[in-house]
Structure formats: structure tokens, C-alpha cells
Amino acid sequence: MARLLRQGLEEEGFTVSLAKDGLEAVEMGTGFEFEVILLDLMLPKLDGFEVTRRLRSERNQTPILMLTARDALPDLVNSLNLGADDYVTKPFSFDELIARLRAVSRRGQISQPVRLRVGDLVLDTATREVWRGEQLIELSPREFGLLNLLMRLSGQVVSRDRIIAEIWGPAASIETNTVDAFVRLLRNKIEASFPHKLISTVRGVGYMIRASRP
């Protein structure tokens, strides 16, 4: 399957390096720079969970797209909590895989240091922790991804369409009101107990985060 995927990706214009097991994946991921890592969960020697954990512990921020036959929610949440950016479950269409690979690769690596800060809000991309002042805030993987996107583009308006493409993938059938719902959930966690609001709504366009509103 790996060889078939490599052939298909190369025909789409990708340059592909293939690791035969988890140990080799860690060695390649730490020794070379890649635009994106397509990582099978069920690898020999080290599974995809452990590969992801080791890469992120080494401050490797290459976007990771997890490929898994496990569609149970705990496994998928675990992979995202460890630092994977997205996942595709088997069986999958090749067109969907290409679309998700391109969406994930567009996010790019997060420049060091891996802590993002807006006012007293801090997001650590390595530990996947979020703090508002001294308070640790628990976020779901989707909420974390949304906040990560907004904070990486702090001071810029992020459209709902871009949020959908980067958080759910360009092939996802997501309505814009779903984005609004997730923003409300995020606001309840990072703003409700604090005097200063950080997320602004730009009517008809999307959202923006910055240290203080005008």
C-alpha cells in the first residue's frame, strides 16, 4: 500500500520519501526537513502515536496527516492530542487524501519558539497546552486547532472559508454556522471568566484575535 501511495503521490507532483517502520520514520523526521508527513498509525516497531510523540518532543513542527483504519473516536482524539494536524480513515478516496495533504501542508511549520502569545493568552504547540494568565484552559482538538490558526494570524481577519479549509479540510461539507458554533465554544473558555476579550467578529467575513479590541 505504501508503494502504491508513493506512486500516486509522485504522479500528482509530490516528492516522496518512504519509511518502512516507525523507527525509520523518527530518524527521517528528525534528520531531514519535509513539507508534510503522511503517517500510518499501524507501523511496525513504533506505531504512529509514538512517532508523533517523539517528533513533537524534539520540537519538530512539520504538519502530520495521520492515516488510520481505526475510526474509533478515542484513537483519533489521541493522535490529535499528541500533535497530529489531521487524519484520514481507511478506506479513503485518493482525491480526499490529496486535498487533505495539500490543506495540511499549506499550514506550514510553526517557527520557533513554539509558544504563541496574544496578550495574556499563551498557546504551546509542543505540549498543546493553553494558558490565560495563570489558568490552564482545556480545549478539544478542534478548538485547539481553531485557536492555533487564529493566533498564528494574530491581527489578521481569518475568513470562515479559510477556517473550514484548514481545520476540517477543503473537501469537508461544513456549514459556516458550524464555525460560528466552535468560535462560541472557544470564547466561553478563553474569554468568559476574564475582563478583556480577545476574539473579534468581522461581520460577513470571519474572526480576528488580538491583544485588545479597538
Beta carbons of 202 and 144 less than 8 angstroms apart: no
> Do both 17 and 81 map to the same domain?
yes
Q: What is the pLDDT of residue 32?
A: 81
> Do both 129 and 78 map to the same domain?
no
pLDDT (tens digit, 9 = 90+) per residue, 167-197? 877 666 788 888 999 999 999 999 988 888 9
Q: What is the pLDDT of residue 167?
A: 82
C-alpha cell at 116: 504563541
Q: Find the CATH number of the domain harbouring 172.
A: 1.10.10.10
Tell me which residue range forms the domain holding 95: 2-107
Mean pLDDT, the chain, as a whole number? 84
pLDDT (tens digit, 9 = 90+) per residue, 18-40? 998 999 999 988 888 888 999 99
Beta carbons of 190 and 137 less than 8 angstroms apart: yes
User: Is 214 part of a structural domain of the chain?
Assistant: no
Look at the pTM and tell me if it is higher than 0.95: no
Q: What is the pLDDT of residue 174?
A: 80
User: Is 147 part of a structural domain of the chain?
Assistant: yes
> Do both 13 and 79 map to the same domain?
yes
Q: How many domains is the chain built from? A: 2
